[in-house]
Each structure stands twice: as C-alpha cells, then as structure tokens.
C-alpha cells in the first residue's frame, strides 16, 4: 500500500547503516528524536465537504488526505508534522474521456477547482489545494492506465495518461518494446504527470527526455478538446505539443498520449569511473557529451556526494578497500564517481565503452568496471526510500536542480552549494550539501543538488529552515542565469522565479493561452503562474 507520510509503499524500507548514522552526526550534528503525527489525527482535521453530489466523486476522508499533498519537503512537513491544513473536498476516479468531460462541465457549473492527480510525486507543490476561493476536486487518473494502441510499423504506443511507469513498461514489454523513461519516481509517477511537468528519465541520453518521446495527445480543456496531429514532424506554425508539455494542468486534463517506443535493447550495462576532482571530471563529461558517445546515461557525483554514497552503502570493508585502491591510482580525497550506462546492441556498447574509456583515461580518470555501476542500477528506485528513514532519524532532505551551459556550470555549482551550505549559519546549524551532473547536452548539463539538515523540535522551524535554503539557492540560480528547473517543473515553489526566465511578454503569452483553454480558471489554480 502507498504511504500517506513519506515516499513509496509501506512494505519497502531502506535502513541507514550504523556507520552512516555516525557519519551524518559528525557532519550535521546529533538529530533530535521527533514523533510523527498519527494519520488518524490528520484525518480528524479534515472538514466535512460541502459539494453537490456526483456519481464519480468520493468525499471519503482518507482518500482526501491521500490526495492532499505531493512529495516536496514542505509537503512532507505538512503530512508528517500535522501542518497540513488544506485538503481536496473530494476525489474523482474517471475511467474515460467522457467521464472527464462530464467532470469539467460539473466543475464549471458549480465553480470547482480541479487538480489532476497522476502519481502524486510532484516535488514543487503542484498538488496543494489552494484552501480559499473555490472548492477542489482531485481528479485521480489511476483508472486510465491502459495501452490503447500499439503501432509496430511506426514504433508508437498510445496509453491512457494515468498509466504509471511499471504499468507502462510491463504492457510494452509483453510485445517486445520499451519507452525507456525512468525518472527516479518511476514506481508511482505517470505518463500524464511526466508530460505536463516535462520530466526527464535517468537514461535520457539514450531514450530522450519526455519531450522528444511525446508524439501526440488528447487534452480535455474546459473550452473543448485539443488534439495534436499524429505525424512524425510538422512545420505548420508553432508546435502545440509544447503548449501541453509543461502546462501543469492549467489548460486541461491530458487523457491519452502517443509515445515513440523502441524494441527492447539487446544489452544494457552500468559501470563506473573515477576522476581526481570535480573540475577534471566535469571537463571529461563535457567532452563525452560533445563527442556524442552513444551512452544511455552519465552521472558525475562531486566529492561530497561520492563520499556520502560510500558511507550510506553500509559496505564498510568494501569501501575501505576501494578507497585504498583508488588512492593508489591517484584518486584521493577529492575523488568523484562517474556512473555511466550503455544501452544498445552488444557491438555498439563495446565500441562506446572503448571510446569512453579513452576519454576517461585522458582526463586522469580510472575505470572501475565492477560492482558500483550495477549496484547503482539495482538500487535506483530504492534510494528514495532512504529519505523516509532519514526523516525518522531526525533529518530533513530535499533536492533541487537546474541546467547551465558548460562554460558556467562548474563555477555556478560552487556558488549554489556555498549559499546552501552557509544558509543556516545564523543559527549555527550545519547543512550537508552535494551534487551531481546527470543529464548532458552538447552545450551544457543539468546540476542536481541534494541537501540535508536537522529537523527542529518545532515543525514551523523545520519549515523556516527549508524556506531559507530553498530561497537562497533559487535566487542564486536565477542570478547565475540558470533555469529554475531542469525537470521538476514550477508548481508553487518555483513560481516566483518564472518571470525572470520567461520575461513579461512570455508570461503574457502563457497567460493568454491558459485563459483560452480555461476561461473560468477552474484548472489547478495558483500553480505555474498567477492569473489575474
Ligand atoms: C523520489 C522522487 C524522484 C523523482 N525523480 C525525478 C526524476 O528523475 N526526473 C524528473 O523529471 N522528476 C522526478 N521527480 C519529480 C516527479 O516525479 C515528476 O515531476 C513527475 O513527472 C510527476 O508525475 P506524477 O504522475 O507523479 O504527477 P503528479 O505529481 O501527480 O502531478 C504533477 C502535476 O501534473 C498534473 N497532472 C498529472 N497528471 C495529469 C494529466 N493526466 N493531465 C493534466 N495534468 C496532470 C498535476 O495536476 C500536477 O500539476 C521525482 C520525484 C520524487 C518524489
């Protein structure tokens, strides 16, 4: 069963090994042991709904609680510490386009705000009901999860937009195909959520981000349906796919989408390499990206992330042995780990691997072909469960991301990490912060930053700490000319920084487009941008 507090299902845990606890205490201090608020207590906070009846909606309190928040750190503080104070008034489970059209009419007639709900994995506040103004219905797409059409000639598959990562790949695998979109939230996140938040899967370097995978779709808007013509490419004016991509439910509900698929690959491998420091590693990664090597992923951790990964593995003996070996080959304390993936035919993979090894060695790097890459692969959807365990231990963990051109990336990284590391200096509270480059392009890369600090005795104080760190980092990203988000979207948390990226006219064009599709603004109010 899906957890109400924290990430994932209730039967999976990722324990923090004892030596890792000592490491964390050493870096950020001994945590306070804090109690979580009981779920029953949260349910008791939910007011009775006051909505006209409708055959597809339920006002059950647990259902409303389950749809009240996503996975951003402030969502966690709300749900774990009982600060949650806005709930959808009802939850709907449509099964077809006509159910959705009916819900849109109902919402327009009774002035109800609709928030589509995919996997609930948003990390930027996309799902929070506004709490004032209109009542809210959360529209859960879970029942629209089927493969609707498979066109093997064109290598295209059409799915209901509520299909989750595992459901989608399972249905394709039966026919010998793969979409290959693997965000770390894959276990729960959905096709509709990926498209409207412009998500990026871990193997984007081979399979592509969601944008090139998205061929066409059907959006039910309050003003009527929007269909994208199913052709490989069109020069007929602006590309309307890009009005759906990133729309964050402001224009309507995506009910189905046609995606580019591929035959299952012949072989897939994940390996690692090390560089003596981040600057050298980043330079090698730039060369790898610009050589357009046929890899499926490249992920370069900085020295702190490399060390923390070692510590959290719990493999004390192995780690100590590995460090000795790495030291001997010039990979000392500032060592940075590269994980890379090969996906394709065996011959292609061998060739790509040889070319990569050449580039690694010519940048003082060292190839490590055993254990680390495969271990990363095996745990890639398990790692998010660590956040649950850390929370229970008394640590709050959050991530943020940006993308920058190569000529700015290394220095910008240092500047962003510095403001986070020093962000709680006024209360003498240390912050553990580390980063990796994870999606690369010929002209730049994305930077993914993780930070961890101690939860305070008072949850409002934990929230205040998060606000300080998030604001400092976001302002620094904007000042450096980075995007406020490479893959997580805007939601509420990134909304203040959108005008800096889009400009006044850009914001105006977006607002007009939203109002054309949703003239009475009943779709996901208050997210992405404020509409007067
Ligand atoms: C542990 C973890 C790891 C993550 N890793 C990644 C990652 O590797 N890459 C990445 O890009 N992101 C990642 N994310 C962020 C998140 O998973 C993505 O933003 C994802 O695309 C959200 O999909 P979802 O189905 O869960 O959408 P939800 O969270 O349910 O909704 C997000 C937004 O999309 C809207 N929406 C959902 N479905 C529809 C629809 N059918 N029609 C219209 N609007 C809709 C919602 O109203 C909301 O505004 C991660 C999050 C977590 C918690």
Best mutation site among 100, 183, 490 for ligand 1 pocket (most ligand atoms within 8 Å of CB): 183
**Is residue 190 within 6 Å of ligand 1 at its C-beta?**
yes
For residue 367, what is the domain's CATH number?
A: 3.40.462.40
Look at residue 510 and tell me if it is in a domain: no
**Domain around 366:** 267-379
Those residues whose C-beta lies under 8 Å from the C-beta of residue 281, and which sit 6 or more positions away, are 275, 300, 336, 338, 363, 365
Look at residue 346 and tell me if it is in a domain: yes
Look at residue 488 and tell me if it is in a domain: no
Q: How far away, in angstroms, is 246 Cα from ligand 1 center?
A: 11
Residue range 191-208, pLDDT digits in tens: 999 999 999 999 999 999
| CA-254 nearest atom, ligand 1 | 42
Q: Using an 8 Å Cβ cutoff, are 243 and 513 in contact?
A: yes
Residue range 291-331, pLDDT digits in tens: 999 999 999 999 999 999 999 988 888 889 999 999 999 99
Flag whether pLDDT at 57 surpasses 90. yes
- Report how far apart, in Å, the C-alpha atoms of 336 and of each of 156, 184, 299, 457 are: 39, 21, 10, 35
Residue range 381-391, pLDDT digits in tens: 999 999 999 99
**Is residue 487 within 6 Å of ligand 1 at its C-beta?**
yes
| pLDDT number for residue 314 | 82
Number of domains composing the chain: 1
**Is residue 396 within 6 Å of ligand 1 at its C-beta?**
no
Q: What is the mean pLDDT of the chain?
A: 97
Best mutation site among 127, 185, 251 for ligand 1 pocket (most ligand atoms within 8 Å of CB): 185
CA torsion sign for 154, 290, 450, 126 is negative
Flag whether pLDDT at 280 surpasses 80. yes
Look at residue 332 and tell me if it is in a domain: yes
Look at residue 368 and tell me if it is in a domain: yes
- Kindly state the DSSP code that residue 495 receives in the 8-state scheme: G
Look at residue 367 and tell me if it is in a domain: yes
Look at residue 344 and tell me if it is in a domain: yes
Q: Using an 8 Å Cβ cutoff, are 360 and 280 in contact?
A: no
Question: Nearest C-alpha to atom 52 of ligand 1 is from which residue?
Answer: 185
Q: Please compute, for residue 531, the number of CA atoms within 13 A of its CA located in the half-sphere on the CB side.
A: 21
| pLDDT number for residue 78 | 98
Q: How far away, in angstroms, is 518 Cα from ligand 1 center?
A: 21
Best mutation site among 5, 121, 188 for ligand 1 pocket (most ligand atoms within 8 Å of CB): 121
Look at residue 428 and tell me if it is in a domain: no
């Amino acid at each position: 069963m899906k957890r109400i507090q924290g990430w994932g299902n209730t039967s999976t845990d990722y324990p923090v090994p004892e030596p890792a606890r000592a490491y964390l205490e050493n870096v950020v201090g001994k945590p306070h042991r804090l109690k979580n608020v009981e779920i029953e207590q949260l349910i008791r906070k939910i007011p009775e709904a006051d909505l006209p009846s409708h055959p597809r909606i339920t006002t059950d309190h647990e259902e409303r609680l389950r749809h009240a928040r996503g996975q951003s750190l402030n969502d966690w503080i709300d749900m774990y510490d009982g600060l949650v104070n806005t709930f959808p008034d009802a939850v709907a489970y449509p099964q077809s386009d006509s159910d959705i059209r009916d819900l849109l009419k109902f919402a327009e007639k009774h002035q109800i705000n609709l928030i589509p709900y995919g996997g609930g994995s948003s990390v930027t506040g996309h799902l929070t009901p506004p709490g004032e103004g209109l009542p809210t219905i959360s529209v859960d797409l879970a029942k629209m999860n089927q493969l609707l059409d498979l066109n093997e000639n064109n290598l295209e598959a059409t799915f209901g937009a509520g299909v989750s990562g595992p459901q989608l790949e399972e249905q394709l695998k039966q026919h010998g195909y793969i979409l290959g979109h693997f965000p770390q939230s894959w276990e729960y996140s959905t096709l509709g959520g990926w498209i409207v938040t412009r998500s990026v899967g871990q193997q984007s370097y081979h399979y592509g981000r969601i944008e090139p995978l998205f061929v066409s779709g059907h959006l039910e808007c309050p003003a009527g349906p929007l269909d994208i013509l199913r052709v490989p490419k069109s020069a007929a004016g602006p590309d309307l796919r890009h009005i759906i991509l990133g729309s964050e439910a402001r224009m309507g509900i995506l009910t189905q989408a046609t995606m580019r698929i591929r035959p299952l690959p012949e072989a897939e491998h994940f390996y690692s390499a090390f560089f003596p420091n981040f600057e050298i590693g980043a330079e090698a990664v730039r060369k790898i990206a610009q050589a357009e090597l046929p890899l499926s992923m490249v992920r370069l951790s900085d020295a702190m992330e490399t060390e923390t990964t070692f510590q959290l593995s719990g493999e004390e003996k192995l780690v100590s042995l590995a460090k000795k070996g790495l030291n001997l080959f010039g990979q000392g304390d500032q060592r940075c780990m590269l994980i890379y993936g090969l996906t394709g035919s065996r011959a292609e993979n061998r060739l790509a691997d040889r070319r990569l090894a050449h580039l690694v060695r010519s940048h003082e790097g060292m190839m490590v072909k055993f254990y680390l890459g495969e271990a990363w692969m095996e745990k890639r959807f398990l790692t998010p469960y660590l956040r649950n365990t850390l929370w229970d231990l008394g640590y709050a963990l959050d991530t943020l991301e940006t993308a920058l051109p190569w000529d700015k990336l290394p220095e910008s990284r240092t500047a962003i990490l510095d403001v986070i590391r020093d962000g709680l200096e006024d209360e003498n509270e240390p912050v553990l912060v580390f980063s990796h480059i994870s999606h690369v392009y010929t002209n730049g890369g994305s930077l993914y930053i993780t930070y961890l600090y101690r939860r305070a005795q008072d949850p409002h104080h934990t929230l205040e700490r998060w606000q300080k760190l998030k604001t400092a980092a976001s302002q620094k990203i904007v000042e450096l000319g980075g995007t406020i988000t490479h893959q997580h979207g805007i939601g509420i948390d990134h909304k203040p920084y959108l005008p800096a990226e889009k400009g006044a006219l850009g914001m105006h064009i977006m607002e007009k487009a939203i109002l054309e599709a949703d003239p009475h603004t009943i779709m996901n109010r208050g997210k992405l941008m404020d509409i007067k």
